Amino acid sequence: MGYLLPTEYVEYGLSPETADDLVVTASVLMEAYCRRPSLLVTQYVERIRLTSGSQTARLSYRPLAAAEGADSPLVQVKVRFGKPRRGETADLFREQVAFVFGVPGSWSDLDPASLDINLAAGEVTFPENFLGLNYNEVEVTYTSGLTIIPPAVKVACAQVVKNAQAMPAMNVRSSRIDTMQMEYFAGSLVDVQVQTLLRPYVAERLG
């Protein structure tokens, strides 16, 4: 889908005759730059190795947002005591206790309500278990994205379209825009201004 409606073209500085497929392709380029399938609310599954001594993980896709009808962006959370990496074993006794009370490496479900969530930073903090042990690997299923497309994203979309229209090498008057042609010029189309507008939505990792 395009991040601009046809009724919004003039409001954001585009001609009312702007081809809809040009806006859609511009939106796809924005998603590619942000390294995510959509800027709208989408579900992601992310496996994270917790830093030794820390129970906080920063999720890659932000802003965190609950899906329609849900109360929390966290859908499912799994944790485990993975095999420690070199230098991570601070307490051999506790490690042995963990191996006794649970199969090493096996995943356990954790109630998402037990986690502390910082929506603005995209961080989740995990509680210690009843043995006072810290998990070292987590798998979080969560939702992230925009419930309402803000003006900044619409401005970015319009700017990508304007950049494309300003390129003599691109035949933007045709009723069908060649997606490969747009991708070839992606570096020029998603300029510094667009990158600044999209910065809050760029994924930190590719996982």
pLDDT at residue 126, as a whole number: 86
Between residues 106 and 62, the one the model is more confident about: 62
Q: Which residues contact 1 (CB under 8 A, 6 or more apart)?
A: 24, 27
Burial 173-200 (b: 16+ CB within 10 A, else e): eeeebeeeebeeeeeebbeeebeebbee
Q: 183 falls in which pLDDT band (50, 70, 90)? A: low
**pTM of the complete model:** 0.80
Domain spans of the chain, in order of start: 6-38+149-201, 42-144
Q: Taking 50 as the threshold, does the pLDDT of residue 78 lie above it?
A: yes
User: Range with the lowest mean pLDDT among 25-39, 69-83, 92-106, 179-193?
Assistant: 92-106
Q: Taking 80 as the threshold, does the pLDDT of residue 36 lie above it?
A: yes
Q: Taking 70 as the threshold, does the pLDDT of residue 49 lie above it?
A: yes
Q: Give tens-digit pLDDT for 95-141.
A: 555 555 555 567 889 999 989 999 888 999 988 765 555 677 889 99
Q: Strand, helix or coil at 188?
A: helix
